[in-house]
Each structure stands twice: as C-alpha cells, then as structure tokens.
C-alpha cells in the first residue's frame, strides 16, 4: 500500500447518497496514479470513484458502471470535477468485457467491486429494499426499467419448498422453512404487494426469542429476495474472473463484500487464482498463481468508521494483484 498519496477529495454529493466504505483503504490498495485506467464496477453515488479519479489525472481514465439509473445520475454530479477523465455506463458489472470492448479499452490497471445495496437504495422507500415504508411496493430490482420479476413476484409464485431454499441459501436464515410456510399460507388469501405485508409475515413466523438484537428480524429474508431478484451471487464469480482477465500485469482487483455468501465467493476465487485453492472451480479452470493476494485476511473498517456509518460494520475488503506471466 502507498502511504504517500494525497488525501482523497471531500465526499460532496456522493456522501449524501452513499458513504463510501473504507475509502482510504480502497485507494491505498488500488494505488491509482496519473495515466492509469481504472474501473468502478459498482458506482453507487460515486464516492469511491471520486477518490480514485483524484489520482488519475493527467492522462488517466475512470470508467464507472452501475445498473441503477438513479445511481448514475448521482455519480455524474459527484464526479463532475473529473468529467474530462470519467466515462459512466449503465450496465451490470458482469457486462464489463463488453463495456470495455465498446469503449475500445483493452486492459485496465485497477477495478473495484463494492457489492450489495447502497445506502440510497435502502433509504428510498419506493424501491422496496427497506422496512421504512410499509406501503412501499415489494420490488427490490436494481434497475426497474429493465423488467424482470420483483420480490413480490417471487413470494407470490414460488412453491413453498423453492421459496424456503431461496431464503436459506441466500441468507443462512435458520427460520427459512417456517417463514416460507407462513408466506405460502397467507398469500392464498391476499397476494403480497407491499413491504409491510412481508415484514408482518416474517415477524409472525419467527419466535420473539429468536429475533436478533442487532438488526431487524426480516433483514435476512429481504437480503435473500434482493439477491435472487438481481441475480447477485450467480453473476459475481464470473464477473470477478472476467475482471482479472482484463487487468494489466500489476493491476489490482479490490472487492468490498457485506455478508458471508459474497465474501465466500471472493475468498475462494482469490485462493484458486493465487494457486492456494483448487485448480478447477465453478467458474472455469485457471493455471496456478495468476494473482498474488494483497490481503491474506479481509480488512475490516475501524471502530470510528462503524460508529459514523453503522452500515459499514459488516464490510470485508479483499484485494489481489495480477502477476506477470
């Protein structure tokens, strides 16, 4: 990590949209410098991207991807001071190879994946990600304009066993079978349309003594549905591996994850690509030691950051550097 880089810029508009978690550690690991080409594959409000872009001029470039049009609009405002070197693209992060081809960019020097849902998405009741507005539609799509099933579609149509498996596998919710049973029973009378309906069902299904003290009892169920609606885990491994393919020698891939399922995928992929794991994995075959690990164990936010931004408490930061051939 570099310790001599200038301080990142103030958060500006991006800080109001989504506070960039572990921003300084991300910048130190990715090591942006003038003339280099970087990608923020999960742009959000642009807080991380602005911190990276501040180090890339002159001659550098930052490409930002996000599937959420609201995020792109906010990031555009945050990154306005760096407009000459920034390109924003509405796309899922697994579209990275096509995006780079379209921009005629062959290789990059660094890329960041900040996984999960942003603070803005959680705080916007109409998106259905949070519990703030019980009357909000149960949607959860990152890009509603793209269509596809909503969370309401899943809870209303999936067979009980499939719904239980979805909740369990995407969140490790121990009460998944009971929650799915309660959902299946209640939807026979009234289909699910709003956030509050699902929250009430989860609370009814989960014994009071089993409810967690540190978060809402429905958090895991909402997480599981969000992951399924947006196909988050399915595309993650492929996206990370394609990012490594486009890294220049010495380029760095950094990933911020917020729950064990994401972190497990990142950890296993990094282990395999560094020659520490199996040569054959779920995302294809790789020769050993394609990358070197910059984080043997994931970095976590300092207590001061968690106090200022409680949503950072579960963050894990891992990074790897592409090796020479």
Domains of the chain: 13-120+232-322 (3.40.50.150), 129-230 (1.10.150.170)
Question: Taking 50 as the threshold, does the pLDDT of residue 97 lie above it?
Answer: yes
**Prediction pTM value:** 0.81
Q: What is the pLDDT of residue 212?
A: 87
pLDDT of residue 127: 64
- Does the pLDDT value for residue 284 go beyond 80? no
Average pLDDT over residues 259-267: 92
Question: Mean pLDDT, to the nearest integer, of 107-134?
Answer: 76
Question: Please, which residues bridge with residue 247 across strands?
Answer: 108
Q: What is the average per-residue pLDDT within 126-148?
A: 81
CA 45 – CA 72 distance, rounded (Å): 7
State the average pLDDT over residues 134-157: 90
Q: Is 196 exposed, middle or buried (0-12, 13-18, 19+ CB in 10 A)?
A: middle
Terminal Cα distance for the chain, rounded: 22
**Span 20-38, pLDDT tens digits:** 999 999 999 999 999 999 9
Return the percentage of the chain with pLDDT > 90, whole number.
67
Residue 139 gets which letter from DSSP? -
pLDDT at 154 over 60: yes
Q: Which of 316, 314, 323, 322 is nearest to 296 (CA)?
A: 316
Angle at 66 (CA atoms; ends 62, 70), nearest 5 degrees: 115
Average pLDDT over residues 266-286: 72
Cα→Cα distances 87→8, 76, 82, 145, 170, Å: 20, 9, 10, 21, 33
Say whether pLDDT at 5 is over 90: no
What the block records as the tokens of 180 is 């799915």
- For the segment 33-48, the average pLDDT, to the nearest whole number, is 96
State how far the Cα of 160 lies from the Cα of 143, in Å rounded to an integer. 27
* Spatial separation of the C-alpha atoms in residues 50 and 27, rounded to whole Å: 10
Classify residue 144 by its DSSP letter.
Answer: G
Lowest mean pLDDT among 107-116, 208-217, 241-250: 208-217
**Cα distances (Å, whole numbers) of residue 311 to 11, 59, 63:** 17, 35, 26
Higher pLDDT, 129 or 172: 172
Please name which of 110, 98, 116 lies closest in space to residue 40, comparing C-alpha atoms.
110
DSSP 310: G
Please tell me the predicted confidence (pLDDT) of residue 105.
Answer: 98
Instruction: Judge whether residue 115 has pLDDT over 50.
Output: yes
- The average pLDDT across 58-84 equals 94
**Residue 72: per-residue pLDDT:** 92
Tokens of 273: 């690509």
Return the minimum-mean-pLDDT range out of 61-65, 127-131, 207-211, 257-261: 127-131
Question: Residues 144-170: what's their mean pLDDT?
Answer: 93
Judged by DSSP in three states, 115 sits in coil
6: buried, middle or exposed (CB in 10 Å: 19+, 13-18, 0-12)? exposed
User: Can you give the pLDDT at residue 174?
Assistant: 93
Range in 60-64, 274-278, 306-310, 314-318 the model is least confident about:
274-278
Token digits for 35?
């003339």
Read off φ and ψ for residue 5, nearest 5 degrees. -75, 150
Can you read off the two tokens belonging to residue 57? 């001029």
Return the SS3 of 92.
coil
Q: Whole-angstrom Cα distance, residue 70 to residue 133?
A: 19
Of 30, 34, 107, 100, residue with least CA distance to 65: 100
Q: Which of 29-33, 49-53, 69-73, 159-163 has the lowest mean pLDDT?
A: 69-73
Predicted local distance difference test score (pLDDT) of residue 289: 85
Distance between CA 259 and CA 151 in Å, rounded? 20
Q: Taking 90 as the threshold, does the pLDDT of residue 276 lie above it?
A: no
């Amino acid at each position: 990590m570099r310790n001599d880089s200038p301080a990142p810029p103030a958060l500006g508009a991006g800080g109001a949209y989504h506070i960039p978690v572990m921003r300084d550690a991300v910048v130190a690991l990715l090591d942006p410098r003038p003339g280099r080409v970087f990608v923020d594959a999960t742009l959000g409000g642009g807080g991380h991207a602005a911190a990276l872009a501040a180090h890339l001029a002159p001659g550098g470039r930052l490409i930002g991807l996000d599937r959420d049009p609201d995020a792109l609009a906010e990031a555009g405002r945050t990154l306005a001071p760096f407009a000459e070197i920034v390109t924003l693209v509405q796309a899922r992060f697994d579209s990275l190879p096509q995006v780079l081809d379209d921009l005629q960019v062959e290789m990059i020097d660094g890329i960041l994946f900040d996984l999960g849902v942003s603070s803005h998405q959680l705080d916007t009741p109409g998106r259905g990600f949070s519990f703030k507005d019980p009357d909000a539609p149960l949607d959860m799509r990152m890009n509603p304009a793209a269509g596809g099933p909503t969370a309401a579609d899943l809870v209303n149509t999936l067979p009980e066993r499939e719904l239980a498996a979805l909740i369990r596998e995407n969140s490790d919710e121990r009460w998944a079978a009971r929650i799915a049973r309660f959902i299946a029973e209640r939807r026979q009378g009234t289909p699910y349309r709003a956030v509050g309906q699902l929250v009430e069902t989860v609370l009814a299904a989960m014994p009071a003594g089993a409810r967690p003290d540190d978060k809402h009892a429905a958090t895991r169920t909402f997480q599981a549905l969000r992951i399924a609606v947006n196909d988050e885990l399915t595309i993650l491994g492929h996206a990370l591996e394609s990012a490594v393919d486009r890294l220049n020698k010495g380029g760095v891939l950094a990933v911020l994850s917020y729950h064990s399922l994401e972190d497990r995928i990142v950890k296993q992929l990094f282990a395999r690509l560094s020659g520490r794991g199996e040569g054959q994995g779920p995302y294809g075959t790789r020769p050993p030691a394609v990358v070197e690990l910059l984080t043997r164990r994931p970095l976590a936010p300092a207590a001061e950051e968690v106090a200022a931004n409680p949503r950072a408490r579960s963050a894990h930061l891992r990074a790897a550097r592409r090796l020479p051939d």
